[in-house]
A = this chain, B = another copy of it.
Amino acid sequence: MKAEIIAVGTELLLGQIVNTNAQFLSKELAAIGVDVYFQTVVGDNANRMKQAIETARSRADIVIFSGGIGPTQDDITKDVLAELLGLNLLMDQRSLDQIEKMFTKRGTVMTENNKRQATIIEGASPLLNETGLALGNAISHEGTHFIILPGPPKELKPMFTNQVLPWLYQHVLAGEMPIYSKMLKFAGIGESMLEDKLKDLITSQTDPTIAPYASEGEVTVRISTKAQSEREAMVKLNELELLIQQRLPEHMYASHDIPIEHVIVEMMADREQTLAAAESCTGGLLMALLTSIPGSGTMLRGGFVCYSNEMKEKLLNVPHHYLEGEDAPGAVSPEVAKVLAEQAQMITDSDYGLSITGVAGPGYSERKEVGLVYIGIAERDKETEVHELKLSGNRETIRIRSAKTILYRLWRRLVENEKLH
Contact = CB atoms under 8 A, between A and B. Distances in A.
Given A30-B15, A41-B38, A392 B288 contact: no
A329 interface: no
Contact of A72 (B16, B195, B391): B195
Given A18-B20, A23-B19, A72 B212 contact: yes
A71 interface: yes
A72 B219 CA distance: 13
A198 B275 CA distance: 49
Interface stretch (A120-128, A163-171, A235-243, A278-286): A278-286
Given A105-B390, A395-B292, A15 B11 contact: no
Contacts of A191: 70-72
- Report the contact-size class of chain A (Cβ under 8 Å from the partner): 35 or more
A307 B302 contact: yes
A387 B253 CA distance: 41
Contacts of A213: 11, 16
B297 A284 contact: no
Nearest to A196: B111
A116 to B, nearest CB: 9
A26 interface: yes
Contact of A38 (B52, B193, B288, B291): B52
Contacts of A314: 348
A95 interface: no
Interface in A254-284: 277, 279, 281-284
Interface in A282-321: 282-288, 290-292, 294, 296-298, 300-308, 310-311, 314-315
A239 B230 CA distance: 64
Nearest to A37: B48
A222 B237 CA distance: 49
A140 to B, nearest CB: 23
Contacts of A419: none
A13 B60 CA distance: 14
Contacts of A211: 10-11, 16
Contacts of A310: 301
A399 interface: yes
Interface string A1-31: 0000000001111111111101111111110
A118 to B, nearest CB: 13
A205 interface: no
Interface of A: 10-20, 22-30, 35-43, 45, 48, 51-52, 55, 59, 70-73, 102, 105-108, 111, 113-114, 130-132, 154, 190-193, 195-196, 211-213, 222, 277, 279, 281-288, 290-292, 294, 296-298, 300-308, 310-311, 314-315, 347-348, 361-363, 371, 390-397, 399
30 contacts: A10-B211, A11-B211, A13-B26, A13-B37, A15-B28, A15-B29, A16-B213, A18-B22, A19-B23, A37-B43, A37-B45, A38-B40, A40-B41, A51-B59, A55-B55, A70-B191, A70-B192, A73-B195, A102-B392, A106-B390, A113-B195, A131-B397, A282-B291, A284-B285, A291-B399, A292-B395, A301-B307, A302-B305, A302-B307, A311-B348
